[in-house]
Structure 1
Amino acid sequence: MRGLTLIIALSIAWPVMAEDVMQPHESILSAIRQELESNFRQSEGTYEIDIAPLDKRLQLPLCPHDLKVIRQVGSRDAGHVSLNIRCDGTPGWSVYHRAYVRVYREVAVLRRSLKQGELVAASDLTLEKRDLAQLRGGGDVARPELAVGKPVRRSLSAGTVLNSDHLGSIKLIRRNQVVVIQASNPGFEISMNGIALMDGEIGQRIRVRNEVSKRIVAGTVVNEGVVNVSD
């Protein structure tokens, strides 16, 4: 089976016991599968889960409670997943096991090469089903509707699967550009001209200089050439 799983450790070495009081391996594997599948029942795409059989020498006392399955810190949703399977109470035991999860989802792939700063057009993209675990960045893929109209941060070749690191944001304000500074409070609203002291994207806070008072203030980019300084 691909995606070989391994037993990492046992908390206690248990003596051999009668078969009827041993924890069935099938119950442990079933608990692992249920835990992993719970992440994908409401998600898009399809998935495959490979869980290797447990070591036949592993013999554990029958747990009178439901088994607890806990993902290890840093374990991803796709690819190699490490889990801790525990029986709390008496008898108490803990084992570690690994599974391999493949998550297939349609992702945005470039039809042609793009140069740094070039905007992504809908015609530049095609959808292809890929295993997210095999993608660079761990499957941090960009949805086509979020990629269209954005510039690429660096030159990309045809066939690249887009992720968020590839995409920049459109600068609505450029440094030294004349901008409108808005300020509002309940009951009044004023606007004045200013000079942007830095580039700005939508929602970004930037510094601007009031052309009348020469005072430098910080505000939020709310539109092209417009900065709101109201707190």
Structure 2
Amino acid sequence: MLLAWSLVATTATAAQTQSHDSIRQAAEQHVLDQFDQKGQQVNATAKRLDSRLRLAACDEDLETFSPYSRKNISRITVGVRCNAADGWTLYVPVTLSLIKEVVIANRELPSDTILTPADITIEKRDVAKLHRGYLERPQQAVGKIVKRRIRQGAILTPGQLNIQHAVKKGTQVVIVARIGTLVVRMNGKALTNGAIGERIKVKNSSSNRQIEATVIDTGVVKATT
């Protein structure tokens, strides 16, 4: 609901009043400026103002601001203010849609499915109402395990997936190390779980030294230099 304004010119002529379109456009532009990023399409629509509302024409540029913290970005309240001597402040609801490419289930995905590139696709969707997040790149999903059934066409969220560990704590691993042009392989033991690309701690079975290594394959890690 539109809140109070400090001055209402009930008898003013159209030439003396601020046009409703200019107020709505200012509120919409405020939202567009905040969410203008490469790779996403932003649409903002301000609510129509009460036709009975008459505000004095502002002889300065309208100022816009965000009066509240945003929890639901699909519906945002924007403050529009005239800072002239006979100024006013109005709060305008703006509906936002945020279209961007996200990861979608290409088929129904049963629980415990290990995702492959064939299981997912990229589509443009409105993410403004997605409070649980979303994935933007296939690499964020491939190789992970589905926790619960996901229907075909659903947007994948981080909370729906578990990491598949290529190395598990306590298991034997092969440690690959490069010394100059020489590549050395040693036996070791994983001290933490790790997915491919993650750094973990391992123990060299020969020296009993703990080192950091990057998981490069199932049961194989590369010593961090």
Contact 1:116 1:151 in 2 (8 A): no
- Partner residue of 1:52? 47
Matched, 1:98 2:64: no
Contact 1:183 1:189 in 2 (8 A): yes
Structure 1 range deviating more: 112-121 or 127-136? 127-136
Runs of 5+ in structure 2 lacking a partner?
none
Alignment of 1:92-171 (within 5 A): 92-105=87-100, 107-125=102-120, 130-135=125-130, 137=132, 140-143=133-136, 145-146=138-139, 149-159=142-152, 160-171=154-165
Contact 1:113 1:155 in 2 (8 A): no
Alignment of 1:159-198 (within 5 A): 159=152, 160-175=154-169, 176-180=171-175, 182=177, 192-198=186-192
- What is the letter of the counterpart of residue 16 of structure 1? A
- What is the letter of the counterpart of residue 208 of structure 2? K
| Cα distance change on mapping 1:91 and 1:192 into 2, 3 Å | farther
Of residues 62, 69, 77, the one that matches 1:73 is 69
Contact 1:181 1:228 in 2 (8 A): yes
| Cα distance change on mapping 1:191 and 1:21 into 2, 3 Å | farther
TM-score (structure 1 length as normaliser):
0.71
Contact 1:104 1:132 in 2 (8 A): yes
1:117 aligned counterpart, secondary structure = coil
Alpha-carbon deviations, 1:153-180, whole Å to 9, x = none?
A: 4032332321233334442322222231
2:145 aligned counterpart, secondary structure = coil
Deviation at 1:128, TM superposition (A): 5.3
TM-score (structure 2 length as normaliser):
0.72
The whole-number CA distance in structure 2 between the counterparts of 1:191 and 1:90 is: 78
- Partner residue of 1:213? 207
Contact 2:178 2:184 in 1 (8 A): yes
Deviation at 1:199, TM superposition (A): 0.9
- What is the letter of the counterpart of residue 226 of structure 1? V
Deviation at 1:209, TM superposition (A): 2.0
Matched, 1:25 2:23: no
| Cα distance change on mapping 1:214 and 1:169 into 2, 3 Å | same
Q: How many residues align?
A: 216
Matched, 1:63 2:75: no
1:32 aligned counterpart, secondary structure = helix
- What is the letter of the counterpart of residue 54 of structure 1? L
The whole-number CA distance in structure 2 between the counterparts of 1:92 and 1:181 is: 71
Contact 1:115 1:152 in 2 (8 A): no
Taking only the aligned residue pairs, the percentage that are identical comes to 25
Deviation at 1:82, TM superposition (A): 1.8
Deviation at 1:104, TM superposition (A): 4.3
- Partner residue of 1:3? none
- What is the letter of the counterpart of residue 155 of structure 2? V
1:29 aligned counterpart, secondary structure = helix
Deviation at 1:198, TM superposition (A): 1.4
Contact 2:194 2:200 in 1 (8 A): yes
